[in-house]
Amino acid sequence: MDSKLITDAILESMRKEVAEFVETQGNIDSSSQYEERVLELSRKFALGLISHRSGKLPKSRNSKKSPDESGPD
């Protein structure tokens, strides 16, 4: 896939989240709630970057290994 298309897909997937945050940030009462919300957005963005680059993430770290890559028995 073209790098521009990947970039657009990642940014589009976060557009709704960022727009919602911008609309509701005035309703956040404390700095800890604000920080928590920003960290949540950051995690979602990072996960989007990782998942678009490597495809679907496995459920566990071990499930990504094939029997040939697991090493000697």
Phi first, then psi, for residue 36 (nearest 5°) are: -60, -45
Domain borders along the chain are 3-55
Residues 18, 21, 25, 29: what is their CA dihedral angle, to the nearest 10 degrees? Answer: -140
Sign, Cα dihedral of 3, 9, 11, 14: negative
> What's the rounded mean pLDDT across residues 15-34?
89
36-73 pLDDT per residue, tens:
999 999 998 888 888 776 555 566 766 666 666 555 65
Rounded to two decimals, what is the model's pTM?
0.58
- 55 dihedral zone (left: phi>0; alpha: psi -120 to 50; beta): left
H helix count then E strand count, the chain: 2, 0
